Amino acid sequence: MTIWMTIITVVLIVFFIMITGILFFRITASVQSTLRNYSSENYASKSFEVGSGDESSESYALDPGSICVVSINQSGTRAYVDSGHGWMEEDVLVNSISYVMKENATFGVILKYNLFYYKTDLQLGTRIAFADATPYYNYLKDVLLYDGLIFVVILLGLFFVTSKLATLFIKPVERAWAQQQNFIADASHELKTPLTVILANSNILLSHSHDTIEDQRKWIESTNEEAAHMKDMVDKMLYLAKSENMKAAVVKTDVPISDLATKLILQFEPVAFEAGVTIESEIEHNVSILADYTAVNQIIHILIDNAVKYAGLGGTVKVELYRKRDSVYLVTHNTGAPIPEEDLPHIFERFYRSDKARTAGSGYGLGLAICKSLAEAQRAVVTVTSDAENGTVFTVRFQKQK
C-alpha cells in the first residue's frame, strides 16, 4: 500500500505542477497580450476612460487603473499616450524607460519597481505600456493557494479511500493466511496424539519381543485403533481439499433428495438408538434437485451424524425437507447443549470445536467444514442457529430446484 500511495502522490504532484505551469503561462500570456494592445499604434486613436470596459479589462491578472502608456519619439522626447488609467512618479518613469530602452526584450518585468512592460517600435519612435505587477502576483498566489488546498483535500481523500479499500481487500487474505496457519497447527496437533500412542505401543511390543501376539493383544489393538483414527482424519482432510479444488469439475444430475434423505435417516436409526436419541422426520415427497449426488449424500450424512452426536441422552433429532418457492430446504434440528454464541461464526472452520462439554469424543472438527465446502460447490447456503430454547438448527438451502 505504501508503494502505491507513493506512486499516486508523485503522479498527483507532477499533475499539479503541470496544471500550475499551464495556468502560469496562460496568465502571463494574458498580461502580455493586454500590454501589447495598449502599446500598439492603433491605441492612440481610441478614447479611454477609467472603468470604460476597454480591452485591458479582459486581463484577469491586471488592474486596468494601473496601466500607464508612454511614447518616446526619435529625439528622446516622451509623452503620455494614456493618462486616464495610470500615472507614474517622475523618477520611477525615467528609470523604467531607461531600463526598457536598454533591454532587448519586448516584454518583461522590472523587479525593482514591480512593473510589467511591453515595448513596441513605431515609425516615429517607441511606445511602452507599463502595468503594476502586484495584482498579477496576488492573483497567482490565490490560484496556487486554492489549487494547493484542493490538491491536499484530494490527496487526503484518496489516501482515506485507498486505506479503506486496502483494508477491505487485505482482510480476506489475512483471514485465509491465519486459517492456513491454524490448519497446519491443528492438523499437526491432531496427528501428534495417535502417532505418540502408536510409537509408545511399538516400544512396548519391542521390549517384550519374546511374548506371543495374544499376550500383547491389547497393545496391538490400541495401535490398530489409533492408526484407523489417523487414516480417517487424513481421508477427511484429503476429501476436504479435493472438494474445494474440484468445484469447477462438479457434474450435476437429477438427485431425488427426498428418497436420499429418507434412506440416510433409516441408516442412522440404529446409531441413534445406541446413543439414546430419537429421530423424527418430515420429508416432502418427490423432491428433486440438480446437484452432485455424492456431495448431497455427504452433506445429509454429516448433518444427521452431527445432530445425533450432540442431541444428548434422551434427546431428539428432527430432519425436515421441503420446497419453498424456487429453493429446497434441508433442516436438521437437535436438542442438547447449545453452541455458545461466540463459537457460531467459527463452527464451519477446519478443526474448530466448541467447548469441551460439546466436543468430548466428537472427532476432528472437519465434518462441518466438509459440509460447507460441498454445499458451496452446489451453490447451496448453509446456516446455523443455536440457543437453549430451540436447540441447534442447521439449514441448507439448495438453489435452482429441478
Q: Are strands 327-334 and 316-324 parallel, antiparallel or unpaired?
A: antiparallel
Does residue 113 belong to any structural domain of this protein? Answer: yes
CATH label of the domain that carries residue 212: 1.10.287.130
One domain, residues 386 and 306: yes
One domain, residues 346 and 267: yes
Number of structural domains in the chain: 3
Element (H, E) at 253: strand 253-255
Average pLDDT, the chain: 81
CATH label of the domain that carries residue 336: 3.30.565.10
The pLDDT-based confidence of 232 (bands split at 50, 70, 90) is confident
Q: Which of 16, 11, 25, 58 shows the shortest CA–CA distance to 140?
A: 25
According to the model, what pLDDT value does residue 125 have? 85
Count H helices, E strands: the chain? 8, 12
Does residue 286 belong to any structural domain of this protein? Answer: yes
Domain boundary among 202, 225, 245: 245
One domain, residues 180 and 254: no
One domain, residues 336 and 392: yes
Buried b (16+ CB within 10 A) or exposed e, 81-100: bbebbbebeeeebeebbeeb
Q: Is the pLDDT of residue 227 over 90?
A: no
One domain, residues 98 and 188: no
Does residue 49 belong to any structural domain of this protein? Answer: no
Domain boundary among 81, 107, 132: 132
Entry pTM? 0.50
Q: What is the pLDDT of residues 124-152, one digit of tens each?
A: 888 898 988 888 888 888 888 888 888 88
One domain, residues 258 and 384: yes
One domain, residues 256 and 288: yes
Distance, CA of 5 to CA of 18 (rounded, Å): 20
Beta partners for 82?
69
One domain, residues 241 and 276: no
The cell for 301 is 450424512
One domain, residues 389 and 295: yes
Does residue 52 belong to any structural domain of this protein? Answer: no
Does residue 51 belong to any structural domain of this protein? Answer: no
Q: Which of 347, 281, 283, 342 shows the shortest CA–CA distance to 310?
A: 347
Distance, CA of 352 to CA of 362 (rounded, Å): 11
Does residue 50 belong to any structural domain of this protein? Answer: no
Q: Is the pLDDT of residue 382 over 50?
A: yes
One domain, residues 255 and 385: yes
Does residue 297 belong to any structural domain of this protein? Answer: yes
Residue 272 domain boundaries: 250-398
Q: Which residue has the cell 498579477?
A: 136
Q: What is the pLDDT of residues 14-70, one digit of tens each?
A: 888 888 888 888 888 888 888 888 888 776 544 333 333 444 444 667 777 788 888
Distance, CA of 257 to CA of 267 (rounded, Å): 15
One domain, residues 225 and 286: no
One domain, residues 328 and 384: yes
Distance, CA of 251 to CA of 292 (rounded, Å): 6
